[in-house]
A and B are shown apart, each in its own frame.
Chain A
Amino acid sequence: DAKTTQPPSMDCAEGRAANLPCNHSTISGNEYVYWYRQIHSQGPQYIIHGLKNNETNEMASLIITEDRKSSTLILPHATLRDTAVYYCIVKNYGQNFVFGPGTRLSVLP
């Protein structure tokens, strides 16, 4: 009963923007979109989250479509250190995080 769908893998050239898509067509009105990433052999790292509006922080930008059925995580200038598995998670406050397989992003030199 996965709530999100992500491509299994993506490549991005170093220095270019990495755009990671996520489909969540069954999202409900109170559910937030969270993004985490997991660099090899490390714990998952929080990146960003949002409800309806686009969000930006020092790590990334989150673009949520108007119907909220999909979103895109943007890393504006990808570096080799951004190579990781990126997880898109939809949840309401109080619900547990459910991690799917995510997208394996490879940043290439």
Chain B
Amino acid sequence: DAGVIQSPRHEVTEMGQEVTLRCKPISGHNSLFWYRQTMMRGLELLIYFNNNVPIDDSGMPEDRFSAKMPNASFSTLKIQPSEPRDSAVYFCASSPGTSGRVEDTQYFGPGTRLTVL
């Protein structure tokens, strides 16, 4: 079975450019999560979706960040405009159930390493 798929695996861009990260969750999973990992702040939850609906975006750092989930098999995280401090590894994860159910375990993708020059 394919796990969570993320693309691109590496992205290098210049400050001010738009960046779009993509995620395909595990088929049949109902929840999707976007995380960011840096040396300074560790692994942080940015936003999560249940059944394609954004539930909690309190972790999104600022308006430059936006996330969408147009269908059950695809999500994007967009940064516009990008800044050097956005450099990090961005992970997508999915879980089988909606919140409060037994199937709460999250399965992570390989991540996208973003470098903003």
Q: A43-B91, A43-B93 are known contacts. Are A93 and B102 too (CB-CB below 8 A)?
A: yes
Q: Is the interface of A mostly helix, strand, loop or mixed?
A: loop
Nearest opposing residue in chain B for A48, CB measure: B105
Q: Are A45 and B108 in contact (CB under 8 A)?
A: yes
Q: Is the interface of B mostly helix, strand, loop or mixed?
A: loop
Distance to closest chain B CB from A51 (angstroms): 11
Q: Which of B48, B91, B102 contacts A44 (CB 8 A)?
A: B91
Q: Are A43 and B101 in contact (CB under 8 A)?
A: no
Q: How large is the interface on A (under 10, 10 to 19, 20 to 34, 35 or more residues)?
A: 10 to 19
CA distance A93 to B93 in the complex (A): 16
Distance to closest chain B CB from A49 (angstroms): 7
Q: Are A44 and B105 in contact (CB under 8 A)?
A: no
Q: Which residues of B contact A34 (CB under 8 A)?
A: 105
Count, chain B residues at interface, CB 8 A: 20
A26-67 residues with Cβ-Cβ distance < 8 A to B are: 34, 41-46, 49
CA distance A46 to B107 in the complex (A): 7
**Cross-chain pairs A/B with CB under 8 angstroms, 11 sampled:** A34-B105, A43-B108, A43-B110, A44-B93, A44-B108, A46-B105, A93-B100, A93-B104, A97-B106, A99-B43, A100-B42
| B interface residues with partner A (beta carbon < 8 Å) | 4, 42-43, 45, 48, 56, 91, 93, 99-102, 104-111
| A interface residues with partner B (beta carbon < 8 Å) | 34, 41-46, 49, 93-101
